[in-house]
């Protein structure tokens, strides 16, 4: 089974902290009901749909927005180059990206709670195979995995992985969902924060993930 692009999905979190002013990447594709106060992002080019709070800024990296997002981030020097490399890695996978600008104000580290999602081929991948690969890659990144299990999601089965990852002195809490499409691909949605009390929100967002 192929190796998933987890490093880009994780590293982008700290690099673009507080980036705002991003345009929506909304889609009219049919899917499950969107919760009140949420809006749908993603679409056919991304291979997936997911809903985020209306207050979140979002970008469709399949639409070539990565460089504009980097320019709007206000970063410079090594941090700028790290952001460029991470976002371009996600853009190569036609990812969706969303961030909660208000969360950076609450964070002692100015870290913005965020989401990225993309789909990759996964022919023949079982839930245990997904877990094994994800845990291996997270361990390589010095993350501490607290949960790795198959869970029900939207009437189907998915894999959920929770971990804590040290990023430049910040302990980032991450939750990843691996959602098979049934058509030879798996969509990977990563939610990261350094704030307490986000599990319920992350679960609500996860309930809207659909591979298309």
24-79 pLDDT, tens digit each: 344 444 446 799 999 999 999 999 999 999 999 888 888 776 677 667 655 556 54
Top pLDDT among 85 and 130 is at: 130
CB atoms within 10 A of CB 166: 12
- What is the radius of gyration, based on Cα positions, of the chain? 16
pLDDT at 14 over 60: no
Q: Which candidate, 165, 191, 167, 163, places its Cα nearest to that of 177?
A: 191
List the CATH code of the domain at 6-211: 3.40.1000.10
Region label for 176, one of left (φ > 0), alpha (ψ between -120 and 50) or beta (otherwise)? beta
User: What is the band of 88 on the pLDDT scale with cuts at 50, 70, 90?
Assistant: confident
Q: According to the model, what pLDDT value does residue 209 have? A: 96
| Distance between CA atoms of residues 82 and 61, nearest Å | 17
What confidence score (pLDDT) does residue 16 get? 37
What are the φ/ψ torsions at residue 121 (nearest 5 degrees)? -60, 145
**Any idea of the CA torsion for 14, 172, 25, 184, to the nearest 10 degrees?**
120
Q: Which two tokens stand for residue 184?
A: 């030879």
* pLDDT computed for residue 9 by the predictor: 56
Give the three-class secondary structure for 203: helix
What's residue 182's pLDDT? Answer: 84
Residue pLDDT, tens place only, 117-176 = 999 988 667 889 889 988 999 999 899 999 999 999 988 899 999 999 988 788 999 999
Least confident of 12-21, 83-92, 198-207: 12-21
């Amino acid at each position: 089974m192929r190796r998933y692009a987890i490093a880009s999905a994780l590293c982008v979190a700290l690099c673009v902290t507080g980036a705002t002013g991003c345009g929506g990447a909304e889609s009219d594709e049919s899917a499950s009901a969107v919760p009140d106060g949420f809006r749908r992002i993603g679409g056919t080019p991304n291979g997936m749909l997911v809903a985020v709070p209306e207050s979140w800024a979002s970008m469709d990296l399949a639409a070539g927005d990565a460089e504009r997002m980097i320019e709007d981030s206000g970063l410079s020097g090594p941090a700028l180059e790290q952001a460029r490399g991470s976002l371009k890695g996600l853009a190569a996978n036609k990812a969706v990206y969303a961030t909660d600008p208000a969360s950076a104000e609450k964070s002692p580290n100015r870290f913005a709670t965020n989401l990225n999602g993309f789909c990759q081929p996964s022919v023949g991948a079982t839930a245990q195979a997904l877990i094994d690969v994800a845990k291996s890659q997270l361990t390589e990144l010095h993350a501490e995995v607290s949960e790795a299990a198959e869970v029900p999601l939207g009437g189907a089965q998915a894999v959920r992985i929770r971990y804590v990852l040290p990023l430049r002195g910040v302990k980032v809490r991450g939750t990843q969902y691996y959602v098979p499409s049934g058509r030879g691909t798996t969509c990977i949605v990563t939610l990261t924060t350094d704030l307490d009390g986000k599990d319920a929100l992350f679960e609500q967002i996860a309930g809207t993930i659909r591979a298309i």
